[in-house]
Chain A
Amino acid sequence: GQNIDQPTEMTATEGAIVQINCTYQTSGFNGLFWYQQHAGEAPTFLSYNVLDGLEEKGRFSSFLSRSKGYSYLLLKELQMKDSASYLCAVRDYNAGNMLTFGGGTRLMVKP
C-alpha cells in the first residue's frame, strides 16, 4: 500500500513564500504530482516530478527526493487566490498506475 503524509493546514501572508511538504512510501514509484483544488471544484494540475530535483513553473516549484520519499511544493509571491487545498499524489506502477492522494493541505493566505 501507500502512505502519503502532508500537513493538514497552513497559513501564510500575501506576498510571502510557503513550502508544503509531502512524504510518501510506495513500492512502485512512478511519479509524484501536485494538484490545487478549490472548494467544490475538480483538482487542477500544478506539477509533476519523476526524477530527483527541482521543477520550476512560474510562481510554483516542486522538489523531489526519491531516496527520502519526500517532496515539497513551493509557492512564491503568494496571492489571495492561492488560498486552496494542495494535494500531493503518488503514482504506483504496481497498482495499475493509479494516483493515490494525500489528505491535502488547506492553505489560507491572509492580507
Chain B
Amino acid sequence: GAVVSQHPSWVICKSGTSVKIECRSLDFQATTMFWYRQFPKQSLMLMATSNEGSKATYEQGVEKDKFLINHASLTLSTLTVTSAHPEDSSFYICSAYTGGETEAFFGQGTRLTVV
C-alpha cells in the first residue's frame, strides 16, 4: 500500500512557541490531505482539509490562524501549531487521499506535548 510519512513522531515544546509537523506521501501524489487531532480516549476529529495549491478548509471551531496548513506540493503538507498552549497537547495525524475509490492512508501520527 501507499506510504505516508509524518514527522516528527513526538515533540515537546514550551508554551508560546510554534511547532511544525510534516506529512509526506512517499510513493504517490496526494491531491488531498486531511489533518486530524485525537485527544486521549477519543476518536479522530477532522481539523482541516487541504488541497494542493489552494487554501485549506477548516472545520468549525478550529482556528485557522493558530493551525497553519500549507500544501504546496502533491507530496507535502505541513501543519504549524502557532503560539502553542498546553491545551494543544494532543495526537495529530495526517491522512492523504489520491482520489478515486481508494482508502485514505495515514501517517504515523505526532504526539505533541506543550509544557
Contact = CB atoms under 8 A, between A and B. Distances in A.
Contacts of B99: 97
Interface residues of B, number: 28
A97 B32 contact: yes
A109 B93 CA distance: 26
A50 B108 CA distance: 26
Given A31-B101, A103-B42, 6 more contacts: A42-B107, A43-B106, A91-B104, A99-B34, A99-B104, A104-B43
Interface of B: 1, 6, 32, 34, 36, 41-46, 49, 51, 57, 91, 93, 95, 97, 99, 101, 103-109, 111
**When A and B form their complex, which 8 residue pairs have the shortest distance between CB atoms, in order from nearest?**
A104-B43, A42-B106, A42-B109, A101-B44, A103-B43, A101-B43, A42-B108, A45-B103
A72 B104 CA distance: 20
A103 B46 CA distance: 12
Given A87-B44, A101-B43, A42 B93 contact: yes
